[in-house]
Structure formats: C-alpha cells, structure tokens
C-alpha cells in the first residue's frame, strides 16, 4: 500500500446510493493503490473497519472499508429524511478539515440532495458553494470531466434567464485563470490550451445573434492572452465538443451549466467526474445525484465514484510533485 495520504470520502445522503457505491468502489479498488476511508455510520456498510483518524486507514484498507464513525439517525434507503442533514454536513466539514490540515490528500464527496438540506435550513446553492464557504475560497469553479474532456463553467447553479446578466469580463478572466492554474498544478499540463465557448448560437455570428462575444468574451480572451494564458476567442459551442475538436485543446471554458454538462454526460454518463477548482484543497465527486429510486436495489453503478477517486489521487500526486518542484527551484535560486 502506498504511503501517500489517504482520501476522505463523505457519507453523502445516507438514504441514497452513496453507501452502496462507496462499498462497491472499495471492493473494486481494495487491491490497488487508492487508499481511502469514509466518514459515516459503519452500519451502512457490509464490511467496515472502524478507525480513529485518517492515518489508520492504510492498515485496514485491504481487508475492510475503513470508516471514521459519526452518529447517524436511522434512515430507510430510498426515503430522504431531513433528520440526516446534520450528519451529511458534519461529514463534509470533517473531510474538509482533514484536507486543510493535510491529513488527507483530497476530499471525494458522495451525492447529496439539496432539497433535503434546504428543508433543514441549508442556505447554499449547492455542494460547490458550500465547500467554498468552508474554505474561504472567493471564486469556486465547477469543472466536469469525462475521458479526454474537461469543461469549466463561468456560471453554475443559476436560472438560465439570469446567465447573460451574470457573465462579466472580469468573471471570465478570473474563471479562466483558475482553470489555467489547476491544469498546470493538478494535471501536470505545462502550457494548457483553453477553448472558450460562445454564449450565443454561432458565437454571436458577428453580432447578428448577440453581442456578448464582441463586448465581453473576446476582450476577456485578449487580456488573458496578454497575461500568458493560451485561450481562444469565443467559438461556437455546437462544434466544440466532437472528437476532432477535443484534440485541439486541453479544456473548455463554458458559459453556463447545461452548455458544459450535456457534452460531458453524453460522452460518458456513468464515468464523469465533478471537480471544484479554486479551493485550497482538492475536491472531486461523482457526476450524478443520490438516485433515491435505486437505493437498496443493489443496481447502483460505482463507475463515477471510482473515476472521482482516481482523479483525486492523480491530482493529489501532481500537486505534491508541483510543490516539491517549486521548493527545489526556490532552493536553487537561493
């Protein structure tokens, strides 16, 4: 087993498929170099080994799923219950603290149902925004990945009618910078090329189908290029995601949620990964929801969670290597 720090998985909504896919992911990865533990109620898993802290996970992982126990009310699979809200949030908060103190390499979050949390008083738009609040990150960026496609979003969980008013030149610039930094530091891409999707059909078609590209998107791209970031002007989104197009860039900067998520989920519905950029910690998650209708059926597929675990490990390894390289360069200069 690797001496790398383990990954911390959160419980997600215990009434959903989170417990099932977590256990299936452990079964699939127990013989690989992907040590992780889950912060949850051990009764949710058929074969659990209790641990007191992240450091104990590696010694247990080959024989049982390591579980750092927290209290959880009795729940019925498939029936979301607001009484589990405190458990769900406590698991997330503990995982984040472990990452902030570098006791784990990354956080992998299981799916939550925001509607359940809202009824319990949760005020954040989503998982991404909550993690940003916990880590005091000013601009969280959602990136979805599937196979060779990485798509970061300028706007996230807002109504479509509000998107044009929410996009600004500064927001595009800051989001692109965050994406650029992440591709270099956490994916090992030294000179990433970013393709920017237009907001309007045909990227505005010279202004006849909208002027956002002329007035905001392309000026933002010009300023980014002046600062050494390789990004295209706005390109028509309908021709940006096929295989030949994907070969020409490392990531896409999409303007709104469905513009970016539909291609990702079409390319690999079961294996997509959600990554939050702009945090001081690494966070990935499966690219699907709680699937209450599948909970308890034994039919839930762990593909996306497995992909999220492997992505988190890769990013953690790259980040450690990047830090070591930076320290070596500073030492050489001194």
Tell me the per-residue pLDDT of 302-316, one tens digit each, with 9 for 90 and over: 999 999 999 999 999
Contact 21, 36 (CB under 8 A): no
Q: What is the mean pLDDT of residues 1-21?
A: 90
pLDDT over 70, % of the chain:
95
Tell me the per-residue pLDDT of 87-119, one tens digit each, with 9 for 90 and over: 999 999 999 999 999 999 999 999 999 999 999
Choose among 190, 116, 178, 170: nearest CA to 141. 178
> Tokens 């925001």 map to which residue?
114
pLDDT at 324 (0 to 100): 54
Q: Name the strands in the sheet holding 141-146, side by side, starting at the edge strand that comes first in the sequence.
A: 48-50, 65-69, 36-40, 7-10, 106-108, 283-286, 273-277, 141-146, 149-153, 251-254, 193-197, 230-235
- Lowest average pLDDT, out of 7-16, 91-100, 323-332, goes to 323-332
Helix (H, G, I), strand (E, B) or coil at 28: helix
Please state, rounded to an integer, the average pLDDT across all residues of the chain.
94
Pairing relationship of beta strands 283-286 and 141-146 according to DSSP bridges: unpaired
> Tokens 């109620």 map to which residue?
41
pLDDT at 329 (0 to 100): 52
Higher pLDDT, 224 or 331: 224
pLDDT at 239 (0 to 100): 96
Q: What residue spans of the chain are helical by DSSP H?
A: 18-29, 57-60, 85-100, 114-119, 127-135, 163-166, 169-187, 212, 218-226, 243-246, 257-267, 303-333
Choose among 53, 26, 29: nearest CA to 39. 53
**pLDDT band with cut points at 50, 70 and 90 for residue 1:** very low
Is the pTM of the predicted complex or chain greater than 0.85?
yes
**pLDDT band with cut points at 50, 70 and 90 for residue 334:** low
Tell me the per-residue pLDDT of 51-94, one tens digit each, with 9 for 90 and over: 999 999 999 999 999 999 999 999 999 999 999 999 999 999 99
pLDDT at 2 (0 to 100): 47
Pairing relationship of beta strands 273-277 and 283-286 according to DSSP bridges: antiparallel
Choose among 224, 232, 254: nearest CA to 241. 254
What gap in Å lies between CA 154 and CA 151, rounded to an integer?
10
State the Rg of the chain over Cα: 20
pLDDT at 325 (0 to 100): 56
Helix (H, G, I), strand (E, B) or coil at 65: strand
Domains of the chain: 1-138+280-334 (3.40.718.10), 148-267 (3.40.718.10)
What gap in Å lies between CA 2 and CA 13, rounded to an integer?
30
Tell me the per-residue pLDDT of 237-266, one tens digit each, with 9 for 90 and over: 999 999 999 999 999 999 999 999 999 999
Q: What is the mean pLDDT of residues 179-192?
A: 96
pLDDT of 277 over the 90 cut:
yes
């Amino acid at each position: 087993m690797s001496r790398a720090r383990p990954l911390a998985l959160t419980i997600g909504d215990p009434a959903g498929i989170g417990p099932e896919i977590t256990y299936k992911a452990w079964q699939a990865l127990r013989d690989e170099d992907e040590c992780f533990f889950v912060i949850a109620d051990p009764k949710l898993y058929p074969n659990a080994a209790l641990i007191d802290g992240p450091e104990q996970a590696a010694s247990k992982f080959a024989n049982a799923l390591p579980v750092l126990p927290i209290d959880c009310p009795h729940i019925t699979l498939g029936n979301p219950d607001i009484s589990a809200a405190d458990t769900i949030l406590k698991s997330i908060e503990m995982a984040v603290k472990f990452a902030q103190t570098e006791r784990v390499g990354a956080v992998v979050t299981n799916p939550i149902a925001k509607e359940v949390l809202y009824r319990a008083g949760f005020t954040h738009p989503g998982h991404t925004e909550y993690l940003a609040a916990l880590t005091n990150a000013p601009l969280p960026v959602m990136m979805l990945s599937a196979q060779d496609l990485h798509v970061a979003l300028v706007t996230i969980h807002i109504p479509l009618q509000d998107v044009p008013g929410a996009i600004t030149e500064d927001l595009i610039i800051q989001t692109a910078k965050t994406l650029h930094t992440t591709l270099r530091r956490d994916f090992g891409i030294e000179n990433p090329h970013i393709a920017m999707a237009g907001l309007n059909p045909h990227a505005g078609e010279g202004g006849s189908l909208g002027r956002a590209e002329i007035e905001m998107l392309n000026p933002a791209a010009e300023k980014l290029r002046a600062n050494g970031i390789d990004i295209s002007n706005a390109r028509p989104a309908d021709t940006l995601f096929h295989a030949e197009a994907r070969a020409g860039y490392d990531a896409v900067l999409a303007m709104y949620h469905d513009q970016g998520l539909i291609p990702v989920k079409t390319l690999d519905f079961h294996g997509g990964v959600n990554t939050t950029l702009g945090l001081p910690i690494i966070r990935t998650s499966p690219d699907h929801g709680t699937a209450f209708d599948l909970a308890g059926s034994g039919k839930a597929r762990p593909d996306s969670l497995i992909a999220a675990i492997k992505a988190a490990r890769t990013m953690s390894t790259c980040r450690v290597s990047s830090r070591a390289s930076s320290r070596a360069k500073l030492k050489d200069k001194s």
